[in-house]
Structure 1
Amino acid sequence: MSLHLELGRTGERLASDYLEASGYLILERNWVYGRAEVDLIAWFENKLIFVEVKTRRSVLHGEPEDFVDWKKERQLEMASSVYIARRQHQGEIRFDIVAIVFENKDLYHINHIEDAFWPG
């Protein structure tokens, strides 16, 4: 596996562990619809939460959350609409970002941004 894919999978695992430790129930990991992938789908405080995980080795080129652009937001919106319809969910939803930056192999920082964006 390439280094950037390995880093991404590590970040998704860390984000999942972090959210679970915070009381979130992880419903799906890497849920795919068409060309869109939702890294994590969780349930917390009666809300369905779609989570984009961004992991970087440094902030030299910007914070990880800065790399969630309008195109990614549209993909998440499309995938979430399908997920909501399939599950017949009629309650609240939220889009979060979990940004992870590694200082070295064993030291990292997690920034959980709740309600990070609203597509469309």
Structure 2
Amino acid sequence: MAEHNELGNEGEELAATHLIKNGYDILVRNYTYLKGEIDIIARKKDVIVVVEVKTRSTPDFGDPQDFLKPGQIQRLVATANHFVENLVDEDVEVRFDIVAIIKNKAGTKLEHIEDAFYHF
């Protein structure tokens, strides 16, 4: 497996662990629809939380969350819409979060950004 894929998988594991420790229930990981993929879909009370995990080994080129492009956001929204319309039987709020991780030999820094799309 390519090194960047391993780092991405480690990041998703760290994000899932973080979410569980903070009271979220993980519903689905790596949910796909058409060309979209959601890293983690979680739930906390009556809120479905769509989580994009961005993991980098260095902050030298910018924060991990800065690497989410408008096309990716559109695919995330369409994929989340499909999930909610087809797999959720109740009226729920949907929130989009980013878990940004920098993981390297110096340590691991994790930042959970709630309602992330409002911060762009």
Give the TM-score of the pair, scaled to structure 2.
0.93
1:113 aligns with 2:113: yes
Q: Give the secondary-structure state (helix, strand or coil) at the position aligned to 2:115.
A: coil
Q: Give the secondary-structure state (helix, strand or coil) at the position aligned to 2:55.
A: strand
Instruction: Provide the C-alpha distance between the structure 2 equivalents of 1:89 and 1:54, rounded to a whole number of angstroms.
Output: 29
What are the within-5 Å matches in structure 2 for residues 52-71 of structure 1?
A: 52-71=52-71
Q: Give the secondary-structure state (helix, strand or coil) at the position aligned to 1:28.
A: strand
Give the TM-score of the pair, scaled to structure 1.
0.93
Unaligned runs of at least 5 residues, structure 2:
none
Q: Give the secondary-structure state (helix, strand or coil) at the position aligned to 1:30.
A: strand
User: What is the aligned partner in structure 1 of residue 75 from structure 2?
Assistant: 75
Runs of 4+ deviating beyond 6 Å: none
Instruction: Report Cα offsets for 1:87-118 as digits up to 9, x if no partner.
Output: 2442111000000001417x201000000016
User: What is the aligned partner in structure 2 of residue 28 from structure 1?
Assistant: 28
In the TM superposition, residue 34 of structure 1 has moved relative to its aligned partner by: 1.3
In the TM superposition, residue 69 of structure 1 has moved relative to its aligned partner by: 1.3
CA gap of 1:94–1:54, structure 2 versus 1, over 3 A, is same
Unaligned runs of at least 5 residues, structure 1:
none
Instruction: Provide the C-alpha distance between the structure 1 equivalents of 2:19 and 2:98, rounded to a whole number of angstroms.
Output: 11
What is the CA RMSD across the aligned residues, in angstroms? 1.2
Overall identity of the aligned pairs, in %: 39
Instruction: Report Cα offsets for 1:12-60 as digits up to 9, x if no partner.
Output: 0000001001110000000111111000000013100000000000110
Q: Give the secondary-structure state (helix, strand or coil) at the position aligned to 2:112.
A: strand
Q: Give the secondary-structure state (helix, strand or coil) at the position aligned to 1:117.
A: helix
Instruction: Provide the C-alpha distance between the structure 2 equivalents of 1:89 and 1:95, rounded to a whole number of angstroms.
Output: 18
